[in-house]
Structure 1
C-alpha cells in the first residue's frame, strides 16, 4: 500500500507542496518517498507524481515506477489473484510490466479487469499522451480529485481547508482517461470513462449520472466512444424470489440461543451453501494474512514476539469469524492482535456522588478478598464492545489456547478525541462530512493506531500493535442483511424489497465507507484488508438466493446474517454466534460523547470547526 499523488498542470506553473497533504501521504507510506516530474517535449503539460510506499510484499519497490518507454505508474493496491505474482516479486512492478506492453485501451482494461484485490492508480501512458486513473470495483482504496485554475490533482488523501476548493472522491464506477493534448488545447479536462459492467448489462446512462454528482468544477465526463467496459470481477446478484414461505410456519421466538442455532445447523448440515461458505471465506482470509513482506521466509518468530496481523475486534460475529479463520492460517507461534476501542463517557454528577458514597462504604465494610472482589467497580471504559470483546477473547482462547491473543484495550478520553480530531482525523475523513462519518472515522482511527493496554497475569501494561495488516469485517452486513434498516425493508416490501436494498448497499459501499476507512487506517502506516469483500466471497454470496443468506422472520441475533451465524457454530464459536448487530459508534460508545440530538446523516459541525 502507499499514498499516491499526481498533479496535472495545463499551464506553466511552479509546483509547491501543501504541507498537510504531504505529511498525510508520508504517514501512509513510511518506507519509501519519491517524486517524479514528466513534461512533454513541447511544454504542453506537466505531471508531478509522488508516491509514499508502505512495503507489504515482495522486494521493496520505490515508486513512481518509470519503465523504459517513459510510462509512469503510481499504484496503491494488492494483487490477491488474477495476475501471477511470485513470492519475491512486488505487485507494483508486475502491474507496470503488464501495462507497458499495452498499446490499446482494450488491453489496459483487460489487465485491470484481471486483477483481484484492492487498488487505486494513476498511469501516464507516454505514447498518445494519456493519463489513466481509477479505483477497483468496490473502491477499497481511496482516490480524491480536484480541479482548480487549470490544475487537476489526484491524491490518496487531502486536507480540509475552509473556503477553498472542495475535494471529491473519484467515483468507483470505472477507470478514467485524459487526452492530455486535447486538454491543453481546450484548457479544460475531459474524462473519458470506461465503466465497470456485467457482461450484457447496460450501465452507460447511470454511470455518467453517478460521476456528475462529484465531478470537479470545470471538468466534463463522457463515456468512451468505443463502448469499451471493464468486466465485473463478481457475478450478478441473485434476484430470485421464493415462490412461497416455508411449508412449516416459523415462530419468531423459535431460535434464540446457541443451542437453538445448533438445532437449526443440524437441519441444514447437508446444505451445499453452508458447506461451501467456510472454504471460500477461509481462502479470502489466507490471501490477506499470508501476503506479507518478504522478511521471514522460514516463518521465524517476529521480533519481540509482535504480531504481523491485527483485527478490528468487537467480539461480534464478523470479527470473531475473521479471528477464527486467521488462526488457521497464521503460524501458531505468532500472536494475533485484537484491537478493541472504547470511549470514556462522562459521569453525571449524581452518579459521581453515588460512586463516592459507594467507595466510602466499601472502604469501611470490606476487609476480605472475597468482599473486595464483590464490590469492585467496573471500568469507565466498559463499553458494550469491550464487554463482548472480552467474552469473544475467551472463546478464541478456548478455540486455540496455544495462540497468544493480544487483546488490546484502546481507551479514548474526550480530551484526546477532540485533540486528534482537530489535528488529524478531520482531514482524513474529508470530503465526507456527516455525524456518522465523524463517529466511525474517529473510532477506526484510534482502533487502527493500536495503542492501549493488554492484561498479563492480572496486571495491565502499555502496548502498541506492530501489525501492518488490519483485517476489518466491513461488507458482511451489506451483503447478508445485518442492519436494522434491512428488517424494516423486509417488513414493508418482503424479499423483493430486501434484495433491492442489498443491491443498493453494495453499490454505494465505496462512497459511504471504504475510501474513508482506507484514509483513516492508512494514516498509521497500516493497510486495511477486507476479506468479506474478496471477489470470490462476493461472487459466492451474490450467487445465493436471499433466503439462504438471511431469514429476517427469525429474531435479532439469529435471522440477520444467518449464514455467518451457522458458519460460526461450524467453526466452534459459542455465544458470539447469536450476538445481535451493534453499530460501531454505539458499541464503542463514541456516539454518547457528543450531542445526543444529532442524526447520523446531519452535517458534523465538529469536523468543520476542528481542522487546523
Structure 2
C-alpha cells in the first residue's frame, strides 16, 4: 500500500491516510527512493517497539545498545517524514512529524468519539441480561478471532501437542476471560497454555521460612493463588479443552543472572517500576516452568511451543478498573469518573508497550492485545459509562464490584463466578517483582547500574 501511495503522489497526507486505514500493531521504516524520503512510525497505540537515535546522524531500531544515552522511543502520535535531500543542509526543517489526528477534545487516538453522557435518573443497573454484556462478548470475540485463529504451527511442531496460543495469566478477570473466550474459538484439538509467573522476593522471603505450612514461597505469591483458582474454574467450565498451566518459578539468583539482559531490553526506560514489570513479562514470555493439565494432575517440566501470547492489558483503562476510578467517582460523581477514564484511554499510546514488546519478543514470541483492538476500543469509548462500570449502584446490590462490572458480568455468564469477583492487582505486586531488595524503593527511582 505504501509503495502504491508513494508512486501515485508525493503528498505526505496521502501516505498518512494509507497508514490511518491500517489497524493492528505495527512499527515500520520505509524508504521512498523516488522522493528521497524516509518514513517511519508506530501504530497509534504503540504496541510495537521502535527507537531512534540522532547522535551523529539518525539510527532507527527495535532495540538499542545501552552504551548510548541518546536512544528514545518513537512517539506513537503519528508518522515521521525525513527529507533526505535537505537533511544535510537543514536537519530541523527536513524532519516533519505528521500526527495521526488533529486533537479536537472528543476524538481519542483517531479511533472514536468519547461518550461524555451522564446517566439519567432512571438508568437501570447493569445485570447479566443488559445489552452491553451481550455486546462486549460479541466485540471481544471478534477481536479474539483476528488474534487466535489461523496462527501458523510453531517451529519444530509436535503433532501430539498442537498448542499455538499462550495467555499471560495472573488468574485475574481480564486474562481469564480472554482464555475462556479463546477456548470457544479454537479447534478442539488445539491446546491453550496459560503462563503464571512467581518470584522469590528476598525482602519478603527473609521474614518467613522457605515454606509456610508446606506451601512454597512461590505458591504463596498472590498471582499464583489466583492463577490456580482460575485455572480450576477454566478446566471446570471447559473440560474438553486441553489446558496447561505453566507455573514459572523464578529464584532471586536467576533474576540477578538475567538483570543486565532485562535492563538492556527495556532501555531507554530505566526506573525501578520499569524493571519490576519487565522482569515479570520477560520470564513469563520465556515460557518454561512446571506444567499440569488439571489441578489434580502431576506436574512436569515444560516449555510452551506457542509463539503467540495474549495479554489482558487495556481493560482497566476502558472499563474503570483502577483504584483511582472509584476515588474519582467519590470525589465528583460520574463527571469526575469520565474525566479520569478519558485521561487513561488517551494515555494508552504512552503505556510503555514498546518496553513490553522488547522484553517478550526477546524469546521469539509475539504479544497480542485483544482489548486494544481498534474496533473494540471504539465501541468501549463510545458506550455510556454506566453500561460499563456503574459506580452509582453499590456492590451490595449486585454482589459484584462496580469497576469493570460489564466484564465481570460476562465472566459470570461464562460460568466463572469466582473470576467475576477477583480484585485488581498490579503485575509487579501479584508476581512479587516489586521492591525486591528494599521496601523503601519507589517505582520512579532510577535503577542502579
TM-score normalized by the length of structure 2: 0.91
What corresponds to 2:228 in structure 1? 390
Q: 1:442 to 1:177 in 2, by over 3 A?
A: same
Offset, 1:194: 1.6
- Paired with 1:349 and 1:237, the residues of 2 have a C-alpha distance of 48
Preserved CA contact (<8 Å) 1:557 1:581: no
- Candidates 176, 191, 199, aligned match of 2:80: 176
Q: Is the 8 A contact 1:433 1:603 kept in 2?
A: yes
Match of 1:509 among 324, 348, 369: 348
The whole-number CA distance in structure 1 between the counterparts of 2:317 and 2:18 is 28
Q: CA 1:398–1:102 in structure 2 vs 1: closer, same or farther (change >3 Å)? A: farther
1:400 matched to 2:238? The reply is yes
Superposed displacement of residue 437, structure 1: 1.0
**How far does the alpha carbon of each residue in 1:312-358 deviate from its partner, in whole angstroms, 9 at most, with x for none?**
001111011100111011111111010100012346667439x7xx9
Can you list the C-alpha shifts for 1:49-92, whole angstroms capped at 9, x where unaligned? xxxxxxxxxxxxxxxxxxxxxxxxxxxxxxxxxxxxxxxxxxxx
Output one character per residue of 1:523-569: Cα deviation in whole Å (capped at 9) or x when no partner. 11110100000011101101112121112353496211111001112
The structure-2 alpha-carbon separation of the partners of 1:131 and 1:231, relative to structure 1 and needing over 3 Å to count, comes to farther
SS in 2 for 1:157: coil
The answer as to 2:127 corresponding to 1:265 is yes
The alignment status of 1:241 with 2:100, answered yes or no, reads: no
Structure with higher Rg: it is 1
Task: Name the counterpart of 2:197.
Answer: 341
Higher relative contact order (CA 8 A, sep 6+): 2
How big is the shift at 1:295? Answer: 8.3
Distance in 2, matches of 1:557 and 1:142, equals 37
- What secondary structure is seen at the aligned counterpart in 2 of 1:352? coil
Alignment-derived partner of residue 24 in structure 1? none
SS in structure 2 of the partner of residue 165 of structure 1: coil
Contact 2:176 2:230 in 1 (8 A): yes
Look up the match of 2:391. 552
Distance in 2, matches of 1:585 and 1:318, equals 16
1:227-376 equivalence runs, <5 A: 234-244=111-121, 265-266=127-128, 269=129, 271-293=130-152, 303-346=159-202, 351-352=208-209
> Could you tell me how far apart the structure 1 residues matched to 2:8 and 2:441 are?
52
1:166 to 40, 56, 70: 70
Q: 1:521 aligns with which of 360, 374, 397?
A: 360
CA distance in 2, matches of 1:352, 1:532: 40
2:284: which partner in 1? 447
Describe the SS at the equivalent of 1:287: helix
Q: 2:372 aligns with which of 526, 533, 537?
A: 533
Which of 343-352 and 406-415 deviates more?
343-352
Structure 1 stretches lacking a partner, 5+ long: 1-94, 204-229, 249-263, 359-375
Partner of 1:435: 272
Question: For the residues of structure 1 that align with 2:108 and 2:31, how far apart are their CA atoms?
Answer: 22
Cα 1:156–1:542, aligned 2, differ >3 Å: closer, same or farther? same
Q: Following TM superposition, by how much is the alpha carbon of 1:572 offset from its aligned partner in structure 2, in angstroms? A: 2.0
User: Residue 317 of structure 1 contacts residue 577 of structure 1 at CA under 8 Å; is this kept in 2?
Assistant: yes
1:599 maps to 442
Displacement after TM superposition at 1:281 (Å): 0.3
Q: How big is the shift at 1:599?
A: 2.2
Looking at structure 2, the residues matched to 426 and 484 of structure 1 have their Cα atoms a distance apart, in angstroms, of 29
Separation (CA, whole Å) in 1 of partners of 2:62 and 2:208: 45
How many angstroms does 1:487 deviate by?
A: 2.0
1:588 alignment counterpart:
431
Structure 1 CA distance, aligned partners of 2:135 and 2:65?
44
3-state DSSP class of the match of 1:467? coil
- 2:97 matched residue in structure 1: 193
1:412 corresponds to? 250
User: 1:153 offset after TM fit, Å?
Assistant: 0.9
Secondary structure of the 2:127 match is helix
| Segment drifting more, 467-476 vs 477-486 | 477-486
**Cα distance, 1:142 vs structure 2:** 1.2
SS at match of 2:31: strand
Q: Which residue of 2 aligns with 1:155?
A: 61
Per the alignment, in what secondary structure is the counterpart of residue 351 of structure 2? helix
Residue deviations 1:223-260 (CA, integer Å, cap 9, x gap): xxxxxxx9965211111223558699xxxxxxxxxxxx
Partner Cα separation in structure 2 for residue 476 and residue 96 of structure 1? 32
User: How many aligned residue pairs are there?
Assistant: 439
2:9 aligned with 1:132, yes or no? no
Using the alignment, how far apart are the partners of 1:574 and 1:244 within structure 2?
30
Which position in structure 2 is the counterpart of 1:109? Answer: 16
Cα distance change on mapping 1:197 and 1:291 into 2, 3 Å: farther
Distance in structure 1 (CA, Å) of the matches to 2:207 and 2:19? 61
1:590 is paired with a residue whose SS is coil
Q: Secondary structure of the residue that 2:248 maps to in structure 1?
A: strand
Matched position secondary structure for 1:594: coil
- Report how far residue 107 of structure 1 moved: 2.5
Quote the Cα distance in structure 2 between the aligned partners of 1:592 and 1:232: 34
Distance 1:348 1:461, change over 3 A: closer
Q: What is the RMSD of the two structures over their aligned residues, measured on CA atoms?
A: 2.7
Whether contact under 8 Å (1:113, 1:232) holds in the other structure is no
SS at match of 2:301: strand
Cα 1:351–1:569 change in 2 (3 A) is closer
Q: Is the 8 A contact 1:557 1:580 kept in 2?
A: no
Conservation of the 8 A alpha-carbon contact between 1:176 and 1:191: yes
After TM superposition, the score normalised by the length of structure 1 is: 0.67
Please say if residues 116 and 233 of structure 1, whose CA atoms lie closer than 8 Å, have aligned partners that are also in contact: no
